[in-house]
């Protein structure tokens, strides 16, 4: 684990935790944008046991709640435009 952490820091200038968090946020954004799945379902698919924890995690990393993200750029906005 230490060697992998050092390699990640050297090549990406980020910790493994940061890289994993980025990947989770990217996947969450993709699901929120492309699907109409409930946030709770997306949270469970991404490994969160509570929707609240996922929402807090998402807001900390994306600076907007999952619901707000979906309203402004996601599937719900596309449906409203059509």
**Model confidence pLDDT, tens digit, residues 1-60:** 899 999 999 999 999 999 999 999 999 999 999 888 999 999 999 999 999 999 999 999
Distance (Å, whole) CA 2 – CA 15: 11
Residue-wise pLDDT for 56-74, tens only, equals: 999 999 999 999 998 888 6
Q: What is the pTM of this model?
A: 0.82
Q: What is the CA 60 to chain-centroid distance, rounded?
A: 10
Distance (Å, whole) CA 25 – CA 28: 5
User: What is the model's pLDDT at position 79?
Assistant: 59
Provide the 3-class DSSP secondary structure of residue 31.
helix
75 falls in which pLDDT band (50, 70, 90)? low
User: What is the model's pLDDT at position 73?
Assistant: 82
Which ranges constitute the DSSP H helices of the chain? 2-12, 16-34, 39-45, 51-62, 66-73, 75-81
């Amino acid at each position: 684990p230490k060697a992998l952490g050092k390699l990640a820091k050297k090549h990406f200038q980020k910790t493994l935790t940061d890289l994993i968090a980025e990947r989770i946020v990217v996947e969450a954004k993709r699901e929120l944008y492309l699907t109409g799945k409930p946030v709770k379902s997306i949270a469970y698919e991404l490994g969160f046991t509570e929707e609240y924890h996922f929402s807090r995690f998402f807001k900390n990393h994306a600076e907007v709640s999952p619901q707000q993200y979906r309203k402004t750029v996601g599937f719900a906005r596309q449906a409203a435009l059509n």
